[in-house]
């Protein structure tokens, strides 16, 4: 089994289990037992932390990944890679704190007021930022050594499980909301400690002073790439964070909770993308280094199909059950019904575009990609300012949809022009058509009964019927040979288990 396939499978398992825990926490516990302002607070702290991370690491994570082969030397503890990363982080984190202090009023301001809760916990953004930025340095180091499994386990599962426990004990009355915020912050930080222990166990570990980077021949190119990657890195965050910040600015903390709830479904759809991106990074980098475009093209096509297969069925299952799902939580969240659909469609185009961000960012044309990102940010900024005041939360969703289509289309056209490769095939049409038909069938499946139990049973049976029908068609059409192989291996394993029993 190839490195990408093995690590993608393990990473996907951890991610999906983690997503289940995350959904249970954010989509059910948060929406059922926290006030919308309280749920909105967690969203705002996390949103700003994710943005400040790009400043805190000063582009080292992206540049370090691109140039890791030039650091790689087990006998010399990889030439001070970790020392250099921590040096960048110490400078970047100081800059983050200065920005937070100087622009506090602007960050806290909202047209509708009601920001007292956010102001009280404002500086929690800083430790969350540093914890995650530090984790990313350790995780990228492990990823450079072809180990992505532990990072996925810690960030995708353990972190979410710790948050779940913190919220659960709060609901049970063990402590107040202030203690919950503290424990939530600790839950985000603890995986960093475990990741630190893990990279020590990988061997050749050192935090000793090293001037290797600053005496290297690639120093200028490293700094240039790091600078551009600060801008480029925003491409993965603006679609889910910048629009959220505009919702807060125009509509307040309560509505950010509703919008963040809608984005949760979009993030679930991109699980396979995130896992595949991690597992593919080192392989694509190596292929790009020797100009093996055929290998890049193969990964590009496979990533597009596999990601779209999973994303389509997830959106279908959510949409056929949307009314029952919303019946379990506070009525305020019903305003997000059609935003979930809009965000879902945007994510489908994201998934169909495969690993386009990875190809362009780590090519010699990364400067062009940085320019595209800047135009994307400007476009999204303009769309949110135009649409949210008129259409409210729906406007934020439409802005995200339009900007996503623009961004991925420009990237894909550029990749085709530069490398003569693209992620599209007729199989994409079959995936979407299958998903659309299965969604139509699922919508008209009869309900079991009304009430909590009736809704729960209805969700389960409609999801199973729709999901099984979808996967059978996808399997028969041989959309993804890798996926068919995994299904066949699963049947073989199941037969063995049944024989043993």
Q: How far is CA 192 from CA 45, 62, 482, 497, 499, in A?
A: 18, 19, 33, 38, 43
CA atoms within 13 A on the CB side of 340: 25
Mean pLDDT, residues 191-217:
82
The pLDDT score that the predictor gives to residue 1 is: 46
The pLDDT score that the predictor gives to residue 441 is: 94
- Residues 305, 363: contact at Cβ < 8 Å? no
Least confident of 48-62, 113-127, 145-159, 411-425: 145-159
- Rounded Cα gap, residues 309 and 300, in angstroms: 14
Q: What is the mean pLDDT of the chain?
A: 85
* Better-predicted residue by pLDDT, 486 or 253: 253
- Size (the chain), residues: 501
70-108 pLDDT tens trace: 777 667 766 678 888 888 899 999 999 999 999 999 899
Read out DSSP for 144-186?
HTT--HHHHIIIIIIHHHHHHHHHHHHHTTSS-HHHHHHHHHH
Work out the pLDDT band at 141, boundaries 50, 70, 90: confident
- Rounded Cα gap, residues 202 and 204, in angstroms: 7
Residue tagged 């069938």 (tokens): 441
Element (H, E) at 311: helix 293-320
Report whether pLDDT(189) > 90: yes
The pLDDT score that the predictor gives to residue 329 is: 86
- Residues 328, 32: contact at Cβ < 8 Å? yes
Work out the pLDDT band at 240, boundaries 50, 70, 90: low
- Residues 438, 469: contact at Cβ < 8 Å? yes
Work out the pLDDT band at 344, boundaries 50, 70, 90: very high
Least confident of 33-42, 66-75, 194-203, 410-419: 66-75
Report whether pLDDT(353) > 90: no
The pLDDT score that the predictor gives to residue 501 is: 55
The pLDDT score that the predictor gives to residue 188 is: 94
The pLDDT score that the predictor gives to residue 377 is: 81
Residue tagged 């550029």 (tokens): 414
The pLDDT score that the predictor gives to residue 11 is: 58
Mean pLDDT, residues 237-257:
83
Every domain of the chain and the residues it spans: 1-227, 237-491
* Better-predicted residue by pLDDT, 1 or 284: 284
* Better-predicted residue by pLDDT, 221 or 118: 118
Nearest-CA neighbor of 226 among 403, 400, 462, 64? 64
Read out DSSP for 209-248?
---HHHHSTTHHHHHHHHHHHHHHGGGGTHHHHHHHHHHH
- 296 alpha carbon, distance to own chain's centre: 22
Structure tokens given for 178: 């202030």
Work out the pLDDT band at 369, boundaries 50, 70, 90: confident
List Cβ neighbours of 362 (8 Å cut-off, separation of 6 or more).
Answer: 65, 66, 281, 284, 285, 288
């Amino acid at each position: 089994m190839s490195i990408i396939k093995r690590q993608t499978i393990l990473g996907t398992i951890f991610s999906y289990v983690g997503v289940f825990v995350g959904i249970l926490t954010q989509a059910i516990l948060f929406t059922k037992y926290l006030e919308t302002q309280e749920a909105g607070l967690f969203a705002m702290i996390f949103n700003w932390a994710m943005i400040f991370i790009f400043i805190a690491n000063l582009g080292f994570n992206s540049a370090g990944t691109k140039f890791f082969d030039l650091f790689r030397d087990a006998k010399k503890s990889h030439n001070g890679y970790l020392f250099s990363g921590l040096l960048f982080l110490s400078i970047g984190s100081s800059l983050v704190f200065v920005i937070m202090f100087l622009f506090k009023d602007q960050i806290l301001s909202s047209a509708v007021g009601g920001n007292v809760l956010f102001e009280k916990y404002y500086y929690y953004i800083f430790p969350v930022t540093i914890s995650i930025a530090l984790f990313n340095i350790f995780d990228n180091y492990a990823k450079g050594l072809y180990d992505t499994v532990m990072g996925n386990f810690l960030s995708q599962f353990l972190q979410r499980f710790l948050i779940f426990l913190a919220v659960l004990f709060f609901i049970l009355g063990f402590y107040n909301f202030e203690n919950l915020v503290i424990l939530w912050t600790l839950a985000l930080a603890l995986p960093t400690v475990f990741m630190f222990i893990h990279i020590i166990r990988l061997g050749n570990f050192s935090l000793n002073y090293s001037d290797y980077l600053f005496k290297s021949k690639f120093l200028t190119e490293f700094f240039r790439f790091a600078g551009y990657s600060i801008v480029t890195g925003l491409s993965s965050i603006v679609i889910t964070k910048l629009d959220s910040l505009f919702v807060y600015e125009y509509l307040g903390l309560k509505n950010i909770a509703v919008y963040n709830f809608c984005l949760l479904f979009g993030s679930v759809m991109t699980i396979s993308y995130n896992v595949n991106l991690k597992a593919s990074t080192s392989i694509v980098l190596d292929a790009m280094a020797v100009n093996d475009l055929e290998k890049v093209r193969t990964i590009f096509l496979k990533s597009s199909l596999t990601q779209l297969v999973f994303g389509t069925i997830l959106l279908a299952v959510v949409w056929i059950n949307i009314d029952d799902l919303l019946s379990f939580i506070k009525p305020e969240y019903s305003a997000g019904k059609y935003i979930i659909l809009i965000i879902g469609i945007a994510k489908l185009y994201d998934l169909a575009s495969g690993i386009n961000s990875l190809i362009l960012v780590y090519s010699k044309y990364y400067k062009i990609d940085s320019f595209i990102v800047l135009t994307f940010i400007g476009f999204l900024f303009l769309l949110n300012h135009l649409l949210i005041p008129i259409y409210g939360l729906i406007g934020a969703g439409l802005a995200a949809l339009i900007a996503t289509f623009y961004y991925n289309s420009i990237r894909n056209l550029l990749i085709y022009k530069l490398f003569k490769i693209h992620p599209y095939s007729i199989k994409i049409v079959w995936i979407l058509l299958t998903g659309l038909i299965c969604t139509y069938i699922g919508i008209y499946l009869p309900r079991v009964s009304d009430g909590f139990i009736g809704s729960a049973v209805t969700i389960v049976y409609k999801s199973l019927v729709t999901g099984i029908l979808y996967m059978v068609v996808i399997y028969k059409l041989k959309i993804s040979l890798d996926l068919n192989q995994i299904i066949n291996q699963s049947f073989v394993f199941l037969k063995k288990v049944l024989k043993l029993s």
